Amino acid sequence: MEKIKSAYKKINLADWKRKEHFAVYRSQMKCGFSLTTKINIAKVLPFIKENGYKFYPVMIYLIARAVNKHDAFKMAMKEGELIVWDYVDPIYTVLHSETETFSALTAIYDKDFTRFMANYNDVGERHADNLHFFPEQPPENHFNISAIPWINFDSFNLHIADFTDYFAPSFTIGKYKKQADEILMPIAIQVHHAVCDGIHVAQLIATLEEYCENIETIIKSQV
pLDDT bracket for residue 159 (50, 70, 90): confident
Catalytic residue annotation: 193
- Over residues 67-86, the pLDDT tens digits come to 999 999 999 999 999 999 99
Q: What are phi and psi of 71, to 5 degrees?
A: -60, -30
pLDDT bracket for residue 221 (50, 70, 90): low
What pLDDT score was predicted for residue 111?
A: 94
Distances (CA, A) of 179 to 41, 70, 106, 182, 187: 11, 30, 33, 5, 16
What pLDDT score was predicted for residue 161?
A: 77
Mean pLDDT calculated for residue range 9-34: 95
The answer to whether residue 223 scores a pLDDT higher than 60 is no
As a whole number of angstroms, the distance between CA 194 and CA 169 comes to 12
The answer to whether residue 1 scores a pLDDT higher than 50 is no
Better-scored residue on pLDDT, 164 or 188? 188
pLDDT bracket for residue 4 (50, 70, 90): low
> Does domain 34-220 bear CATH number 3.30.559.10?
yes
Average pLDDT across the chain, whole number: 94
Q: What is the pTM of this model?
A: 0.95
- Over residues 96-147, the pLDDT tens digits come to 999 999 999 999 999 999 999 999 999 999 999 999 999 999 999 999 999 9
- Each domain of the chain, given as residue ranges in start order, spans 34-220
The answer to whether residue 169 scores a pLDDT higher than 60 is yes
Residues 123/135, Cβ–Cβ less than 8 Å: no
As a whole number of angstroms, the distance between CA 198 and CA 33 comes to 9
As a whole number of angstroms, the distance between CA 79 and CA 82 comes to 8
The residues, ordered by sequence, that sit 6+ positions from 141 with a Cβ below 8 Å of its Cβ are 6, 8, 74, 76, 85, 86, 87, 88, 89
The residues, ordered by sequence, that sit 6+ positions from 82 with a Cβ below 8 Å of its Cβ are 10, 11, 13, 22, 75, 76, 195
Percent of the chain with pLDDT over 70: 96
- Over residues 54-68, the pLDDT tens digits come to 999 999 999 999 999
Q: What are phi and psi of 98, to 5 degrees?
A: -70, -25
Buried b (16+ CB within 10 A) or exposed e, 48-57: beeeebebbb
Kindly tell me the sign of the dihedral angle through the C-alpha atoms of 2, 170, 177, 65: negative
Following DSSP, what letter does each residue of 63-121 receive, concatenated?
HHHHHTT-GGGSEEEETTEEEEES--EEEEEEEETTTTEEEEEE----SSHHHHHHHHH
